[in-house]
């Protein structure tokens, strides 16, 4: 039975790449320090370069100066220069060209720009910061959900180019065409060939909930009539008994003017009639009062 060992080994810096490789594993086979032979790392294997961190069930270093790195099993890691995290089933990395090919259920995250991409194959070039994606692609960013069979993601330009039945879903809006280009920074969409889409009205439709709320408010006002304080406030705002409205003042003025315009003789007769009536009433009261007779 083989005893599992843990290895942390720093290779002599390669003259071509001027890069140091650090790796760990539970088991290693091959010749340490060789520039041409193949070295295999198994069990919790990790490889770290100046621009790439890789973890996997198994990692193989091959080629001159260990130019090629192949990882299999449960692969995860990060491209430190580009701030990209990834998981996949298999990875091939060329340290000279700085091109990484990820295969089998690839999940790639652009941490800086909050862009997430899923595909079966993604080839990422560190020099151009470009990801070429193939098969069952889904890319999400903000409200955008983009799907297609082929796509190119340009990180530095924040641009996505899609073909192969491409579609962009933005909330309830959707866009289709033969080719679609999306500017992830400005959200500008360019559609080319057999364009079609659906755009919903930005104004929300009146829902049953809104109607029920209005009916409930009306019923509440009916069940709860104005309070006494509200009625008192309304009464105070209306003219009091002592106060005369403009109409009453006009009527009083008209009556006064009418009285002044009457004939003086008529006024005198009215006064005499009133005096005679008063004297008759006084005489009648005296006759009817027993104390007055005595």
Domain 113-202, CATH number (from 3.40.50.300, 2.60.450.10, 3.30.1490.20, 3.40.50.450):
2.60.450.10
- Rounded Cα gap, residues 116 and 109, in angstroms: 5
The answer to whether residue 14 scores a pLDDT higher than 90 is no
- Considering the chain, what is the average pLDDT of its residues? 77
Pick the more confident residue, 49 or 254: 49
Q: What is the pLDDT of residues 227-237, one digit of tens each?
A: 565 555 555 55
pLDDT of residue 231: 53
Residue 248 has pLDDT above 60, yes or no: no
Buried b (16+ CB within 10 A) or exposed e, 213-248: eeeeeeeeeeeeeeeeeeeeeeeeeeeeeeeeeeee
The continuous run of DSSP H or E covering 175 comes out as strand 173-176
Mean pLDDT of 75-96: 95
b/e per residue 67-93 (b: at least 16 CB within 10 A): bbbbbbeebebbbeebebbbbbbbbbb
Please state which of the ranges 110-114, 179-183, 264-268 shows the lowest mean pLDDT.
264-268
Q: Going by DSSP bridges, is the β-strand pair 159-163/167-170 parallel, antiparallel, or unpaired? A: unpaired
Above 80 in pLDDT, residue 172?
yes
116-144 pLDDT per residue, tens: 999 999 999 999 999 999 999 999 998 99
The predicted structure's pLDDT at residue 216: 62
DSSP string, 196-265: EEE---SSPPPPHHHHHHHHHHHHHHHHSPPPHHHHHHHHHHSPPSSS--HHHHHHHHHHHHHHHTS-HH
Beta partners for residue 71, in sequence order: 59, 91
Q: How confident is the model at residue 6 (pLDDT cuts 50, 70, 90)?
A: very low
Where exactly are the structural domains of the chain?
A: 1-96, 113-202
Under the banding of pLDDT at 50, 70 and 90, the label for residue 65 is confident
All residues at 6 or more sequence positions from 40 whose CB lies less than 8 Å from its CB, including other chains: 28, 29, 30, 58, 59, 60, 61
What Cα–Cα distance (Å) separates residue 262 from each residue in 71, 256, 273? 124, 10, 17
- Band of the pLDDT at 37, cuts 50, 70, 90? confident
CA distance 208 to 203: 16
Mean pLDDT of all residues in 73-91: 94
Give pLDDT, residue 164.
94
Q: Which residues have C-beta within 8 Å of that of residue 60, sequence separation ≥ 6?
A: 38, 39, 40, 41, 69, 70, 71
Q: Please give the Cα distance from 148 to 169 (Å, whole number).
A: 12
Torsion (CA) 62, 26, 104, 133 in degrees, nearest 10 = -60
């Amino acid at each position: 039975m083989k005893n599992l060992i843990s290895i942390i080994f720093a290779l002599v810096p390669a003259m071509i790449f001027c890069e140091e490789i650090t790796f760990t594993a539970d088991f290693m086979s091959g010749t340490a320090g060789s520039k041409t032979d193949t070295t295999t790392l198994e069990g919790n294997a990790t490889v770290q370069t100046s621009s790439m961190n890789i973890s996997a069930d198994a990692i193989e270093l091959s080629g001159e100066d260990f130019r090629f790195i192949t990882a299999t099993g449960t692969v995860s890691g990060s491209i430190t220069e580009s701030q990209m995290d990834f998981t996949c089933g298999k990875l091939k990395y060329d340290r000279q060209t700085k091109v990484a090919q990820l295969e089998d259920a690839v999940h790639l995250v652009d941490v800086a720009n909050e862009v997430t991409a899923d595909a079966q194959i993604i080839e990422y070039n560190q020099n151009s910061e470009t990801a070429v994606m193939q098969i069952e692609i889904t890319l999400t960013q903000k409200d955008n959900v983009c799907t297609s069979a082929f796509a190119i993601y340009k990180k530095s330009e924040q641009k996505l180019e899609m073909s192969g039945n491409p579609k962009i879903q933005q909330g309830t809006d959707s866009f289709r065409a033969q080719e679609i280009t999306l500017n992830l920074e400005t959200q500008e969409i360019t559609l080319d060939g057999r364009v079609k889409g659906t755009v919903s009205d930005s104004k929300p439709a009146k829902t049953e909930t809104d109607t029920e709320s209005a009916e409930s408010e009306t019923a509440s006002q009916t069940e709860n009539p104005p309070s006494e304080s509200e009625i008192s406030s309304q009464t105070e705002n209306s003219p009091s008994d002592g106060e005369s409205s403009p109409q009453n003042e006009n009527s009083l003025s008209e009556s006064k003017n009418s009285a002044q315009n009457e004939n003086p003789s008529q006024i005198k007769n009215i006064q005499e009639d009133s005096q005679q009536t008063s004297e008759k009433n006084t005489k009648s009261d005296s006759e009817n009062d027993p104390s007055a007779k005595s």
